[in-house]
Amino acid sequence: MKLDLHVMEKTCSHCATQGIIITDHNETIVAVNDSALRLTGYSKEQLIGQPLRLLTSNEHYIAVYESIWESVIENGYWEGEIRNVQSNGKIFFIKLTVYALASSIDKSDLYVWCFSDLEERSNDVEPKQMLEAIYKASPMAVTTLHKDMTVKDWSDTAQKLFGWKKEEAIGQPLLSLLSCHSHYIASFLQQIAKGDIPSLECTARRKDGTVIDIACSIVSIARPDGTITGYIVMINDITKTKQKELEYKKQVELAKKIQQSVLTAPIQSNVVTMDAIYIPSEDLSGDMYACYQIDSHRYGVIIIDVMGHGLSASLVSMSLRSLLRGLILRVIDPVYVAAELEKHLQNLFPDQANDMHYLFSMIYLVIDTKTKQIEYTNAGHPAGLLLMDDGNIVELDKGGLAIGSPFSVPFDKGVVRYHKRTRLFLYTDGILDEIDSSILNSMAKIRGYVKHNRHLSDQQFLQLFVEKHLYQSRPADDICLLSITINEK
């Protein structure tokens, strides 16, 4: 049995020396705060479930505590000065205030014992202020329930949140007042029956019919034998938070549509054909591709994966996209294009040259159908695969580190010559985790697929690849796939 005193301790933060102990009607301790542990010298495990008389001698308990209980049961309140015993046997005198936690007095009530060392009594808090702090000062609606889930006490915050007055709420089933959907209520009750501490988010209807979003937590109060005697429920209005989340999701979806709209159309000519698939994840990301016909016999193709997810990665990706066409058509050479992209990234973040958060990997290649060769640079990207007509696979892995790396290393250029029909397959690393938990196994499976499906068109090749290797519509990371076929003239 566990009782969370976070709200109470927060409201009492201005009197950190004041100890708080909560007992049930059998005088069994069910909850304590840190100050109570400090003043008594006991640990939480030593106190929870023990009788209150542990803190004093039996003789003194009979003489004084019996009269305290009688006063609290009759009047709901007691205040005075008594002696207690610390865990080391030392006797110390305290100022003690006792009152019922709820407004009605019966056997299922809880009792709050507020005490402080008389040497620190200048820091005491008036008991009525303490009670108001529990029920009013908390930003959450706090209410106590009987074991049949009917309302025992209804705080001012609960009244303000739901519109039901205290006299209207007391005695009513809490879940009927909240008007939550039936499947939420069923789940809630199942968790309680299992002895769990349920916490859920759902919608609820106020007295005036307004629908709000709430987060609800419930803590059971039980006797030492495990018998539940009641509950404490904390309810928070999260409507504004949910509205912000919904608005953010709308903005993310719009940004993702914009990202997809700027992807270039695959090239289709008599000699070079290609197709591409872009599969976005739940979050914004930085994957992208672009392809351009440079002149009558040269084609530039680039695939980029900006590190990370979210708005920052997508903005870097869009910034790169804005200059790719002019850069590729003007510079052409893979090594110089890579160097220009690195300069661009440095200009974007001049004060964060060594920040790994802004790097990106890429493969940029130039297909020259006149000389029948492919020049490329791989900057920290998964190796592209070039399937020759004889069935051999060449990995496009020559180049350098990812662009934006704090280590300055010149880029290399790879050159591959082909003779007959050739296929290129480029991809971002999001697909690797979808295929297999081992990157090496994923890459081996990709190589096998490329070899065994060389006869398919670019579109068929990619569609079948997705069907075989992608098992969910929304992968954990964005995925870009490019298939390029170079035919004989």
Q: How far apart are CA 408 and CA 400, in angstroms?
A: 10
Q: State the average pLDDT over residues 312-330.
A: 86
Which of the pair, 451 or 67, is modelled with greater confidence? Answer: 451
DSSP class of residue 65 equals I
Q: What percent of the chain has pLDDT over 70?
A: 80
Whether residue 352 is predicted with pLDDT greater than 80 in this model: the reply is: no
Q: Which of 283, 326, 273 is nearest to 306 (CA)?
A: 283
How many angstroms separate the first and last alpha carbons of the chain? 79
Cβ-based neighbours of 166, under 8 Å, separated by 6 or more = 154, 159
- Please, what is the Cα angle at 325 between 320 and 330, to 5 degrees? 115
1 pLDDT band (50/70/90 cuts)?
Answer: very low
489 SS3 class: coil
Kindly list the distances between the CA atom of residue 48 and the CA atoms of 2, 224, 392, in Å, as whole numbers in the listed order: 9, 9, 72
Specify which of 31-45, 49-63, 437-451 reaches the highest per-range mean pLDDT.
437-451
Poorest-pLDDT segment among 15-29, 296-310, 461-475? 15-29
Averaged pLDDT of the chain: 81
Contact 13, 109 (CB under 8 A): no
Q: How far apart are CA 363 and CA 338, in angstroms?
A: 9
Which of the pair, 172 or 121, is modelled with greater confidence? Answer: 172
Residue 304 identity: I
242 SS3 class: helix
Contact 386, 374 (CB under 8 A): yes
DSSP string, 262-285: TSPPPPB-SSEEEEEEEE--SS-E
Q: How far apart are CA 486 and CA 367, in angstroms?
A: 9
114 pLDDT band (50/70/90 cuts)?
Answer: confident
What does pTM read for this prediction? Answer: 0.57
Specify which of 153-157, 191-195, 220-224, 446-450 reaches the highest per-range mean pLDDT.
446-450
Q: Is 142 exposed, middle or buried (0-12, 13-18, 19+ CB in 10 A)?
A: buried
